[in-house]
Chains A and B, each alone.
Chain A
Amino acid sequence: MEPILSIRGLEKSFGDLKVLKGIDLDVQRGEVVCIIGASGSGKSTLLRCLNLLEEPESGQILFNGEDLTDIDTDLDGLRQKIGMVFQSFNLFNNKNVLDNCTLAPMSVRRIPRQQAEETAIRHLEAVGLKDFIRADSRRLSGGQKQRVAIARALCMEPEIMLFDEPTSALDPEIVGEVLDVMRNLARQGMTMVVVTHEMAFAREVSDRIVFMDQGVILEQGTPAEVFGNPKEARTREFLSRYLEDKAL
């Protein structure tokens, strides 16, 4: 089967700093891939390259066979199919919860307001925010904001969802409510690429773990392989730091 996302030889630098040093990665339809690795290893940069929020210097990103890095592809069109959830939520501050969710469907996909609102309410209900549709998005708690952000991305009916440390900015006691939403999404068969430091979640939900180190994919495999029996010394070292304070 053709992978939904296929990355070949991806390289990216910021000035003199080479952050991605040739990444190859395939993501199959319906697969949940978790990317783990030390801070600064390039996880966020890789994820942001996947919808070209960062422009790579070289390499290809094929989404359903279309190359995003090609100057002639309809980037805005492809981005509609690639949902993204940010660490800092990035809800539109000038819109309430419902308008956050309907803005893109209405302005990009030209869906009539009523239909867009029905879809939005359905997704907001699914993330447990039915009572907040008219709320000011700035007044929500972090966990609520992140769930709105997920619903907002889902309203575009994406084929793949990218998550960049969606729970890192949250208080420990509300991390769970966001992870629950993501767990549900995975169960419904959504293709997901998740950068996370939540090792227990990664182990439970993902089909594949990708360990990044200094701009390369050092190791990948099923959670059992990577967590249970890491091949690389650096992976072991990285995981042991988590195992110390949290029993996996």
Chain B
Amino acid sequence: MNTFLSILRSLPGDLIRWCGGKLTAAARFAAADHPYVYLSGCALILTDLLVYVFSDEYGFFLSCTPLVMAAFALCAVFALAALAALVSKRRLKRRYRSQSRFCTPAARRAARYGSYAVWAVTALVLADRIHVLCRLIRSVMAMDTNPDPFFQAMVYMFYNSRSLFLTGLWTTLRLAFFGTIFGFILAIGLVFLRIQTPTSRDRDHIKFVKILCSRFAALYATVIRGTPMMLQAFIIYYVGFGLFTDHTELTITEINSIWSFFIAGLTTVSLNSAAYLSEVLRGGVESIDAGQTEAARSLGMSAWQAMMKVVFPQALKNAIPAIGNEMIINIKDSSVLNCIGVVELMYAATSVAGIYYKNLPNYVSAALIYLIMTCIISAFLNALSRRLSLSTYRGIPSSN
């Protein structure tokens, strides 16, 4: 039983490695000697796949039958010739280069021109699909009822609720951006509380205050990290609301205009980022070699000066990538704020879904927008940290 389990557990990895190895070997075999032919073979496969996107619609190219027939004939001849070449290569092995008819200069030239033609066909098919796509979108935009097919419905609902989607998108961006900035400012304060350590030269009351500060910051981080952000959003919103009703004479509408969902949401994101970033900064401070502090202290600098002039600037520089990551995380995690009614992207998608009684297409739209945002920002941040020659973080960070 145990052996069976262990075989089972190791199987996927080994299988993938085995298949991967075979595939690379096959690709290398196919690509050797005729790289042009190999690449256009790939292009052929791509063309074939492209045709199946919106397969019932034809654009300027695929609707012209003689052209399509010619292209098909060309591709078929090319593919057959390539296949014959592969067979011959398999048979002749090492002598292929010197003896095969497929390796004469004339044959090579023919293969090259043939592959250009195949690429041209691929490009045409691609353009045809884009043409179809544009036509589809234009026709959907002109419709006045929600069409049935998935993609059309998605486009229709996005187009007709675009202002809601854009409001959501803009709110999400503001939440993530300002939330990270405010969070970072708070985090700097928190980390200074956190790293207070009493020394034997401190007076007793100073020791007490230092311990208190550091415990408070640790507790704050624990509480924030140990509870879901959605819950924090509720608590922060209702605490703020309660403070206004208890201590002011404002009406509910007036309170809602001051303590709006957005402000409550922004507070939530900021307090959250503060906790996470303060941990990042503390890690940064602790990762700086103790020798840096010792050198500063040995020159007569105070603990505060050593921290401010030597240790913290280095920790901060190391933390820059983490700040960018936090921003990306906030883009995604601010989606939970729809629970208190902040009109961010998730809220927008849910509302639109409610208006049309259609869920999936809208959530897919929202997912695409989130994906595009996070990809753009992470590409931008990677470029930035490469420019600053910081350690770069590849990929999109996941939640805290």
Point out residues on A near B: beta carbons under 8 Å.
51, 53, 55, 71, 75-77, 79-80, 82-84, 86, 88, 90-94, 103-104, 107-109, 149, 152-153, 156
Let me know if A92 and B300 touch, CB within 8 A: no
19 CB < 8 A contacts A-B: A53-B294, A53-B297, A71-B201, A77-B300, A83-B299, A84-B295, A86-B291, A86-B294, A88-B289, A103-B296, A103-B301, A103-B310, A104-B299, A107-B301, A108-B300, A109-B300, A153-B298, A153-B299, A156-B299
Leading 7 A-B pairs by shortest Cβ distance: A80-B300, A104-B299, A90-B291, A90-B295, A84-B298, A79-B300, A108-B300
Q: Which of B201, B296, B300, B301 has the most CB of A within 10 A?
A: B300
Given contacts A92-B296, A103-B301, A107-B301, 13 further A-B contacts (CB under 8 A): A51-B298, A53-B294, A53-B297, A76-B302, A79-B299, A79-B300, A86-B294, A90-B291, A92-B292, A92-B295, A93-B292, A94-B314, A108-B301
B residues less than 8 Å from A103 (CB atoms)? 296, 299, 301, 309-310
Let me know if B299 and A152 touch, CB within 8 A: yes
Let me know if A55 and B200 touch, CB within 8 A: yes
**With A71-B201, A75-B201, A86-B291 in contact, is A92–B310 under 8 Å at CB?**
yes
Nearest chain B residue, comparing its CB with the CB of A156: B299
Cα A104 to Cα B291 with chains together (Å): 15
Cα A145 to Cα B62 with chains together (Å): 70
Q: Indicate if B222 sits at the interface (CB-CB under 8 A).
A: no
A residues less than 8 Å from B35 (CB atoms)? none
Point out residues on B near A: beta carbons under 8 Å.
200-201, 289, 291-292, 294-302, 305, 309-310, 313-314, 317
Q: Which of B292, B295, B296, B297 has the most CB of A within 10 A?
A: B295
Smallest beta-carbon distance B77→chain A, Å: 61
**With A90-B292, A93-B314, A94-B317 in contact, is A107–B298 under 8 Å at CB?**
no
B residues less than 8 Å from A92 (CB atoms)? 292, 295-296, 310
Nearest chain B residue, comparing its CB with the CB of A79: B300
A residues less than 8 Å from B309 (CB atoms)? 103, 107
Cα A90 to Cα B301 with chains together (Å): 15
Q: Which of A75, A80, A104 has the most CB of B within 10 A?
A: A104
Cα A83 to Cα B302 with chains together (Å): 15
B residues less than 8 Å from A51 (CB atoms)? 298
